[in-house]
Amino acid sequence: MLKKILAGAAATLVMTTSFAADITGAGATFPYPIYAKWAESYKAATGTGLNYQSVGSGAGIKQIKAKTVDFGASDMPLKAEELDKEGLMQFPAIMGGVVAVVNVEGVTPGQLKMTGPLLADIYMGKITKWNAAEIAALNPGVKLPAADITVVHRADSSGTSFLFTDFLAKTSPAWKENIGSGTTVKWAVGVGGKGNEGVAANVQRIKGAIGYVEWAYAKKNKLSHTQLRNKEGVDLQPSDDVFKAAAANAEWTKAPGFGVVLTDGAGKQSWPITGVSYILMHKTQADANKGQEVVKFFDWSFKNGAPAAAELDYVPMPASVVKQVQDAWKANLKDASGKAIM
Where among 210, 231, 258 does a domain terminate?
258
Return the pLDDT at 21: 66
pLDDT confidence of residue 12: 43
> Are both 157 and 219 inside the same structural domain?
yes
Structural domain count of the chain: 2
> How many other CB atoms sit within 10 Å of the CB of residue 45?
10
pLDDT digits (tens, 9 = 90+) for 127-142: 999 999 999 999 999 9
Residues 138 and 216 placed together within one structural domain of the fold: yes
Decide if 103 is inside a domain. yes
Last-in-domain residue among 228, 258, 288? 258
Q: Indicate whether 230 and 247 sit together in one domain.
A: yes
Residue 134 lies in a domain: yes
Residues 13 and 81 in one domain: yes
Task: Note the pLDDT of residue 255.
Answer: 87
State whether 250 and 103 are in the same domain.
yes
What's residue 9's pLDDT?
37
Q: What is the percent of the chain with per-residue pLDDT over 90, rounded to a whole number? A: 88
Question: What is the average pLDDT across 316-332?
Answer: 95
CB 338 within 8 A of CB 288: no
User: DSSP alpha helices (H): ranges in 211-287?
Assistant: 215-220, 240-247
CA 197 from centroid of its chain's CA atoms: 12
Say if residue 234 is in the same domain as residue 298: no
Alpha helices in the chain (DSSP H): 32-46, 57-65, 80-86, 116-123, 133-138, 159-171, 173-178, 195-205, 215-220, 240-247, 288-304, 306-311, 319-332
Q: Is residue 342 part of a domain?
A: no
Based on the fold, state whether residues 133 and 39 are members of the same structural domain. no
Query: Do 72 and 102 lie in a common domain?
Result: no
Domain boundary among the residues 225, 258, 291 is at: 258
Residue 212 counted as domain residue: yes
For residue 143, pLDDT beyond 70: yes
Q: Averaged over 238-255, what is the pLDDT?
A: 89
On whether residue 206 sits in a domain, the answer given is: yes
Of 96, 79, 109, nearest to 28 by C-alpha is: 96
The DSSP bridge partners found for residue 279 are 73, 91
d(CA 37, CA 41): 6
- Averaged pLDDT of the chain: 92
User: Could you tell me the pTM of the whole model?
Assistant: 0.89
Domain span at residue 29 reads 2-97+276-335
**14 assigned to some structural domain:** yes
Do 245 and 324 lie in one domain? The reply is no
Whether pLDDT at 168 is above 60 = yes
| 178 and 193 fall within a common domain | yes
Using one digit for the tens of pLDDT, what is the confidence trace for 50-100? 999 999 999 999 999 999 999 999 999 999 999 999 999 999 999 999 999
In angstroms, the CA 336 to CA 286 distance is 6
pLDDT top residue among 21 and 287: 287
CATH number of 161's domain: 3.40.190.10
Pair 323, 330: CB distance under 8 Å:
no
341 part of a folded domain: no
247 is a domain residue: yes
- Could you give the percent of the chain with pLDDT greater than 70? 94
pLDDT band of 43, cuts 50, 70, 90: very high
pLDDT over 70 (residue 20) = no
Residues 196 and 206 in one domain: yes
Residues 139 and 235 in one domain: yes
